[in-house]
Amino acid sequence: MKQSTRVIAILLFLCCSISSVSNAQQIGLEVDFFGYADNREYKSIYTEDKTFFGAILSPKLYFALDSNHRVYGGLHYNQDFGIHSENKEHISPIAYYNYKNKNIDFALGLMPRHERLADVPRIVLADTFMYDRPNIEGMYFAFQNRYIKQAIYIDWLSKQSYQHRERFVVGLSGKYTFGNFYIADDALLYHNAKTSNEELDDNIQDNGIALLRVGADLSRKTFLDSLTIDAGMAIGFDRVRNEYDLRVARGFISNIYLGYKQFFLGNTLYLGDAQNLPNGDSFYHRDTYNRLDLGWTPFKKGNLEGKFIASFHFAPDQVSNQQAFTLRYRFGKALF
């Protein structure tokens, strides 16, 4: 079925579903538009010199069974600009159940990635996932109160078949706040298993990263709108069974972020062992790396935000640069 036909079929199904759901207390519509122009002038090894330029439109309907239970259905329509036969035109369904109250957020299904994993550090999950794989396909659970937020999630990347490996990730992301100070934890386990073809001589890969940082939010102590500083340890491990034993890579990582009015600056420094990260940013495949972001938010009003970031990547072999403009507009409305 052609992509355009699939879009029409899914939208018709969702529209027809509105009239068929009689037990829902409320039916509503949410739309997320994300436009991106990300030019990556990368010169270092392990990195790909590439431009991401396109848009993702993500409409979805929700059916509220009560104040806590909702069922969502919709789609991501992802289109790179300059379409041709080798270009990407990708449709991903959105379909998940969500239980949510002031402390718990539980979701099961195909759910938008940005809503729940936007703040995961790049060393754990590369930001290209937001362009190429806008959904989490699995489960998400988070607990939060005034001082704590801790989430665990599983994202199923590939179901096992005769030609395809079974692949999935399990992740943690949390933050514990004590006055102006905080402790942040992030971790990811990547499991790359075998196909169902027993004749193939493939081996199981286990890969992971754990990140623990201690920081301070000094935003209220200065004239700046925001100022946060943190530092900690990154411990990665990698193993390919029957090929080599567990390899451990350790490093120091620090972050600083400051913002004033429409402008902001962010810097990340990594020092230590080179990491092997199939799902993380490829710049961490080296023992020294520094990323400097200079940003400007030309307009921000309500649920609309446009952001420009000039990034400079300092690596031992080369200095690379990146310019990105992103625009996100989200809105929602109760229909019945």
Tell me the C-alpha to C-alpha distance, in Å, between residue 111 and each of 64, 153, 198.
Answer: 16, 11, 33
Please state, in angstroms and rounded to a whole number, the distance separating the CA atoms of residues 130 and 122. Answer: 11
Angular region, 259: left φ>0, alpha ψ -120 to 50, beta rest: beta
How far is CA 7 from its chain centroid?
24
Range of weakest confidence among 16-25, 162-171, 181-190, 239-248: 16-25
User: Cβ–Cβ contacts within 10 Å for residue 280, how many?
Assistant: 23
Total of domains in the chain:
1
The reply to whether the predicted model has a pTM over 0.85 is yes
pLDDT tens sequence across 131-187: 989 999 999 999 999 999 999 999 999 998 888 899 999 999 999 999 999 999 999
CATH code for position 195: 2.40.160.10
Domain of residue 193 covers: 3-334
User: Across-strand partners of 264?
Assistant: 259, 295
pLDDT tens sequence across 184-212: 999 999 999 888 887 777 888 999 999 99
Following DSSP, what letter does each residue of 131-156 receive, concatenated? HH--EEEEEEEEEE-SSEEEEEEEEE
